[in-house]
Amino acid sequence: MSPRITMDELHPFKVTYITNPTQDKLRKLALEHTPAVVKTAYGSLNKITFNKARKAQFTYIVAAESDAGRYSGKTIDLESAACLVESVRKYVEEQGTLIDIQGYEGLGPRAVGVQWLYTLDIANVAAMQQILSFPREMVETKEQLARPFEPSFRLVMTPALEAKGMPGGQAMLVDLDNWTTYVIGADYFGESKKGALRMLNEYTYQRGGLTLHAGAKAVTIGGKTVTMAILGLSGTGKTTTTFSKQGELTQPIQDDMVTLWPGGEISITENGCFAKTYGLTEESEPVIYAGTLDPSAWTENVYVDEKGKFDFSKGRLTVEEIKRYHDILLATKVPAGNVEKFIRGEVKIDEVVNQYDIPADGWDFLVWAQNGRSIIPMKAIKNAADLHKIPPLRYMGILNRDEGPDAAYPGIIRFASPEQAGGYFMLGETTKTSAAGKERGRTRSPFTQPFFPQQNGLQPKRFAELVATMPGVVCWAMNTGWIGGDALDVKAGKALKVKIPHSSAMLEAMLKGEVVWKKDPDFGYEIVDVDSPANTALLAKVPAEILNPVLFFSKAGRMDEYRAWVEKMLKERREFLEKYAVDPVIVRSVCAACG
């Protein structure tokens, strides 16, 4: 038994379809039907969700039990999936109406048609997805426009439907056979966005490409324009780095995902930006700041004060603020009893929130989630590149937001070979809080993306094959976090923060070819030679201890910590790569010092 709904029919449910409504219409629908929507002073709408991040633990690929080993994530058997799909059909037809967004991932001959279907109570997500997709008019000929839409993928989202019998009452079903994703019981926009992009991963891999969880920008240096791709997990600074300026001109291309093809060709995915807003300032990220305040933007989980203005750095909430958000908190499944206890003064915030502002279970509402997002149309992004004319890809990098007492990842690294780059891209290392703001600690995610359905060990192999067709490409990595500690240690003078100006200066020097590199004796990749007079200009902008962290640990009398970190990293990296059956040549390029 397999899920019954296929791509053979454009409108498979017996309901009224609102097809490609205007943004104004979607705003009206959101205000009328979507819970926990707040008007802002900027003319936009802000949705507060009960899920504050994607739920990978509730995501399942539909597969026969005998095929489960083919995939990178959890699977669900065909019969169980079919029952859930049937519950979606019954629920949707009881509701009677679906919003039907028809558009494309990408432009030109590589564009892939997608249909997104939403119940009315998630109209805000329909609007956000419409912004990020390319309309039919930008992709199709007049003859194609005159015919019914022919999508390659479909996504159906029903946030109020409980996935009965499933953990958490939620299920994201990935039906690769029918190119359809069902988002059941979740209201977070990322489930819609990544649902289609997960399908794109499979689609492009089957056709010889590799979809990267990466931003991209066109950079003009010395009159020559090239494309740079930046990989990174959520929270590592991928969007920030994508929008930072280097050279004479920097033009954003994409902020989240691109596909790499032979010869360095890249194809794009989205017609806008999905940016994190926590800590956003006009000074640090002027493009994203201006776009977020644009009336055409939509926001999700951004704190809005009593005047309707955004507070991008909101942390702990006061009793008065909890009172003002009372109804919204209850609408987003916050424990009502805990809300009332806090308002009555029976529980003080310091009793349930620690020094890192991480709440105890059940008290998350006392600290505003750091995963606020803005969805900005490309037309609202200053100096955006011409998406029809993308320069050749010449630089690919990965970001690691290193944090903690053993944070020793160099400020910037150049990889010595495509195999070494593929290995580190496969590692996908960072030390971070989760999108929801609670989990801490070092993590690894293959190619920085949990959206590749097949076995993850296939990614570095495909990457190496593609890089072999790209002579002269430069692969690099950058630390966007700390050296020797965290934010509290910086205040105490015990650690260093890699700041946005540091990152920008390191990228600028690399792009200009002004860096003199040397081989790191422990890992074999190349780091900045801080003793070379040729690097004096870079050292004036970036501390030597960031460029070569062993100097920091040596000066602090903490070399035992550094040596322990080296041994730990070499061992863990080898184990991680071998767990995914990565090509031994790639493993050796990363772990040559492992023996």
pLDDT by residue for the chain (595 residues), tens only, comes to 567 688 999 999 999 999 999 999 999 999 999 999 999 999 999 999 999 999 999 999 999 999 999 999 999 999 999 999 999 999 999 999 999 999 999 999 999 999 999 999 999 999 999 999 999 999 999 999 999 999 999 999 999 999 999 999 999 999 999 999 999 999 999 999 999 999 999 999 999 999 999 999 999 998 999 999 999 988 898 988 998 899 999 999 999 999 999 999 999 999 999 999 999 999 988 989 999 999 999 999 999 999 999 999 999 999 999 999 999 999 999 999 999 999 999 999 999 999 989 999 999 999 999 999 999 999 889 889 999 999 989 999 999 999 999 999 999 999 999 999 999 999 999 986 444 444 557 899 999 988 999 999 999 999 989 998 999 999 999 999 999 999 999 999 999 999 999 999 999 999 999 999 999 999 999 999 999 999 999 999 999 999 999 999 999 999 999 999 999 999 999 999 999 999 999 999 998 755 4
pLDDT digits (tens, 9 = 90+) for 531-551: 999 999 999 999 999 999 999
Q: How far apart are CA 197 and CA 530, in angstroms?
A: 41
Q: DSSP label at 256? A: S
- C-beta of residue 400 within 8 angstroms of C-beta of residue 409: yes
Q: How far apart are CA 94 and CA 97, in angstroms?
A: 9
pLDDT at 595: 47
pLDDT at 434: 43
**Range(s) within the chain of domains with CATH label 3.40.449.10:** 16-207
Query: Does domain 16-207 fall into CATH 3.20.20.140?
Result: no
pLDDT at 439: 52
Query: Does domain 211-268+387-594 fall into CATH 3.90.228.20?
Result: yes
Query: Considering only CA atoms, which of 373, 368, 371 is closest in space to residue 299?
Result: 373
Element housing 399 (H / E) = strand 393-400
pLDDT at 192: 98
Q: How far apart are CA 487 and CA 15, in angstroms?
A: 53
**Range(s) within the chain of domains with CATH label 3.90.228.20:** 211-268+387-594
pLDDT at 384: 92
Judging by DSSP bridges, how do beta strands 303-304 and 310-311 pair with one another?
antiparallel
Would the pTM count as exceeding 0.85?
A: yes
pLDDT at 536: 98
Q: How far apart are CA 318 and CA 322, in angstroms?
A: 6
Sign of CA dihedral 508, 513, 514, 519: positive
Query: Considering only CA atoms, which of 454, 463, 517 is closest in space to residue 199?
Result: 454
At 476 the three-state DSSP class reads strand
pLDDT at 432: 64
pLDDT at 593: 57
Tokens of 432: 């971070």
**548-568 burial: b if 16+ Cβ within 10 Å, else e:** bbbebbeebebeeebeebbee
pLDDT at 440: 56
- C-beta of residue 306 within 8 angstroms of C-beta of residue 324: yes
pLDDT at 431: 86
